[in-house]
């Protein structure tokens, strides 16, 4: 699979102007914000049209907001749609592999994403949500917006640091447009996509988020995000209780994420073909939708806190359980989408149930269910996606209540910390872990992986036969000619290192062979090792230099790397990364 294909490039003179000025990156961010807002509006409209066609909805009506659905539509649409999705996705995966998402792009690839791959992921997400699978559209929103941002950055041949910022701009604008929360969108870009906050990224990410929000509102005046009613003023004890809500949210969030992995494992153990898994998952979601349509799609329609919570408590509990199962089954069976929107709805329902239970146990507390719905919504979302400030600002922009936002922040911090302590991943990075990647955030570690032993080593190495007499070695390598020489056997396989000064020591017999003074005989480096791994090897083997071999099996010498050179290269690269992060010139 070709990860990044060739694409259009702007003329050199214009590229030079953009690369020379920080303000030019802000201009590009404004363009990205507008494009992202249009993309969010278009994708939302496409899903709405699909719901009208497949489920018989009226224009403007939301699928998960329906009280009931035609049982035949509810079952057959996700089932047949899942079969088509599985067949097409199996073909695409076989030819293209797994596409890079914004977090992985910024962590490993310097912000480089495939535009074609982003379009494929966006189409998969729209189809999954359009046929009723219980997945969020945010994955498609951020993928497409960040993919377009990456394409723009590549057209201008921007530096690695600028590319990462533009990818963050795309995701920030998409989330701001989807939730109607420019501050929340901006901090989504900082916390989850860029992995840090800096002065250099503040203006472009902030402007992109604002423009994305305004663009989406211009084309879709009805709010795409969260709708809430008035919430009561909180007391001091509510802030303490919010911390406990954060703990419960973290526990449930961990169970939810592990549930997705367990569902995938069940399909694997029963040897269900990947092409058939979405059909089975769609059938299960369809059966649950007959009982409660709120389980379908992203949950936008259900997430109207002034409406759904007027339902009986038993109905709210049923929706909570079914939505959790539907989300796990949808994602575990292979549908494309995110867990963000589902976590919002589940958190809101869970917070409401918690408040009712607490109020029944201690009537004197006077807990407000709507307030705890907001707290639970944000706490569970932080456990699942990370980003405590993201959800805190979304709560503030949704309610306008600063005291409630304080309780949300406490619950979010607790949820994040408990999740990090006992799980260590967000949903996005958990999926990376399941396929063997070690990244846990969007922090740029790609430069470390790029700085390999193969790039740092010297290839002009000097070797000597391992059975050569020391006298011959002394003649060939006099004192001062070099520090170490690599010894090889008769098959040119690595045998060890010879220190020239030691070979010239007076107490060593001239008739002895080089083999008698070998060092690091079983210790070597491989070309694919990173600088960090090489430095750790130097420390572990207590070596100043190590030979580089092509593989552990062949052990053919291809180079030499010293500890001093590896440390110097790693230090220089770290300093460049620090300066890029802080926006220093």
Domain ranges of the chain: 12-224, 236-434, 449-577
- Contact criterion met (CB below 8 Å) for 398 and 231: no
Write the burial class of residue 538 (CB in 10 Å: 0-12 exposed, 13-18 middle, 19+ buried). Answer: buried
Q: What's the CA gap between 52 and 86, in Å, rounded?
A: 23
What phi-psi label fits residue 274: left (phi over 0), alpha (psi between -120 and 50 degrees) or beta?
alpha
pLDDT range class, residue 584, cuts 50, 70, 90: low
Give the three-state DSSP class for 14: helix
Q: What's the CA gap between 236 and 421, in Å, rounded?
A: 27
Continuous H helices in 292-312: none
Confirm whether 12-224 and 449-577 share one CATH topology.
no
pTM exceeding the 0.85 threshold for the entire prediction = no
Protein fold of 236-434: Clc chloride channel (1.10.3080)
More confident residue, 574 or 290: 290
Quote the pLDDT of residue 88.
96
Q: What's the CA gap between 380 and 412, in Å, rounded?
A: 8
For residues 121-127, average pLDDT:
96
Quote the pLDDT of residue 522.
87
pLDDT tens-place string over residues 18-47: 877 878 999 999 999 999 999 999 999 999
Q: What's the CA gap between 431 and 72, in Å, rounded?
A: 34
Quote the pLDDT of residue 580.
67
pLDDT range class, residue 232, cuts 50, 70, 90: low
Quote the pLDDT of residue 208.
98
Parallel/antiparallel/unpaired status of strands 463-465 and 557-562 = unpaired
Quote the pLDDT of residue 1.
40
Average of per-residue pLDDT values in the chain = 88
Phi, psi of 461 (to 5 degrees): -85, 155
Residue 564, pLDDT above cutoff 60: yes
More confident residue, 88 or 516: 88
Residue 2, pLDDT above cutoff 60: no
Protein fold of 12-224: Clc chloride channel (1.10.3080)
pLDDT tens-place string over residues 274-288: 999 999 999 999 999
Least confident of 186-200, 205-219, 407-421: 186-200
Residue 7, pLDDT above cutoff 80: no
Residue 299, pLDDT above cutoff 80: no
More confident residue, 294 or 508: 294
Residue with tokens 């098959």: 491
Continuous H helices in 97-235: 102-108, 115-130, 138-155, 160-179, 182-188, 199-219
Q: Which CATH class is domain 449-577?
A: alpha beta
Residue 319, pLDDT above cutoff 60: yes
More confident residue, 78 or 107: 78
Tally the residues of the chain.
Answer: 585
Residue 308, pLDDT above cutoff 80: no
Least confident of 98-107, 160-169, 553-562: 98-107
For residues 164-190, average pLDDT:
95
Run of H or E including 405: helix 402-422
């Amino acid at each position: 699979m070709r990860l990044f294909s060739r694409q259009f490039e702007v003329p050199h003179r214009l590229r030079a102007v953009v690369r020379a000025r920080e303000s030019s990156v802000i201009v590009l961010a404004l363009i990205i914000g507008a494009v992202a807002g249009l993309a969010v509006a278009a994708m939302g409209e496409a899903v709405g049209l699909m719901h009208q066609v497949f489920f018989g909805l009226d224009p403007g009506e939301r699928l998960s907001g329906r009280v009931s659905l035609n049982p035949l539509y509810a079952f057959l649409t996700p089932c047949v749609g899942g079969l088509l999705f599985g067949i097409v996705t199996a073909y695409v995966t076989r030819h293209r592999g797994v596409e890079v998402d914004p977090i992985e792009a910024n962590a490993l690839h310097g912000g480089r994403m495939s535009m074609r791959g982003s379009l494929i992921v966006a189409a998969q997400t729209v189809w999954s949500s359009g046929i009723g699978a219980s997945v969020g559209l945010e994955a498609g929103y951020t993928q497409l917006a960040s993919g377009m941002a990456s394409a723009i950055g590549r057209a201008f041949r921007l530096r690695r640091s600028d590319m990462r910022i533009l990818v963050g701009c795309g995701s920030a604008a998409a989330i701001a447009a989807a939730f109607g929360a420019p501050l929340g969108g901006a901090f989504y870009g900082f916390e989850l996509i860029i992995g840090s906050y800096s002065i250099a990224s503040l203006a472009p990410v902030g402007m992109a988020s604002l423009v994305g929000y305004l663009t989406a509102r211009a084309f879709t005046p009805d709010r795409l995000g969260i709708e809430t009613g008035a919430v009561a003023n909180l007391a001091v004890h509510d802030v303490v209780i919010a911390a406990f809500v954060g703990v419960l949210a973290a526990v449930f969030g961990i169970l939810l994420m592990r549930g997705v992995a367990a569902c995938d494992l069940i399909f694997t153990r029963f040897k269900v073909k990947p092409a058939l898994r979405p059909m089975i998952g769609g059938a299960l979601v369809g059966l649950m939708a007959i009982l409660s349509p709120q389980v379908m799609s992203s949950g936008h329609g259900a997430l109207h806190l002034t409406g759904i919570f007027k339902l009986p408590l038993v109905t709210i509990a049923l929706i909570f359980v079914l939505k959790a199962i539907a989300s796990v089954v949808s994602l575990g069976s292979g549908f494309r989408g995110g867990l963000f929107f589902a976590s919002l709805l589940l958190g809101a329902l869970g917070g409401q149930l918690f408040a009712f239970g607490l109020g029944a146990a201690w009537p004197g507390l006077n807990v407000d269910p709507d307030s705890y719905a907001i707290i639970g919504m944000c706490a569970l979302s932080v456990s699942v996606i990370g980003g405590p400030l993201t959800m805190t600002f979304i709560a503030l922009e949704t309610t306008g209540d600063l005291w409630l936002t304080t309780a949300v922040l406490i619950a979010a911090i607790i949820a994040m910390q408990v999740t990090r302590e006992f799980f260590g991943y967000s949903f996005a990075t958990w999926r990376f872990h399941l396929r063997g990647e070690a990244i846990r955030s969007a922090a740029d570690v790609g430069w470390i992986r790029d700085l390999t032993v193969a790039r740092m080593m010297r290839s002009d190495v000097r070797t000597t036969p391992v059975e050569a007499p020391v006298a011959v070695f002394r003649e060939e390598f006099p004192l001062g000619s070099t520090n170490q020489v690599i010894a090889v056997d008769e098959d040119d396989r690595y045998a060890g290192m010879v220190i020239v000064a030691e070979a010239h020591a007076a107490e060593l017999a001239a008739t002895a062979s080089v083999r008698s003074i070998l060092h690091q005989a079983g210790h070597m480096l491989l070309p694919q090792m990173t600088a960090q791994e090489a430095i750790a090897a130097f420390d572990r083997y207590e070596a100043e230099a190590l030979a580089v071999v092509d593989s552990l099996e062949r052990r053919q010498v291809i180079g030499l790397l010293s500890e001093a050179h590896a440390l110097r290269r790693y230090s220089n690269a770290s300093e460049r990364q620090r300066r890029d992060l802080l926006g220093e010139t």
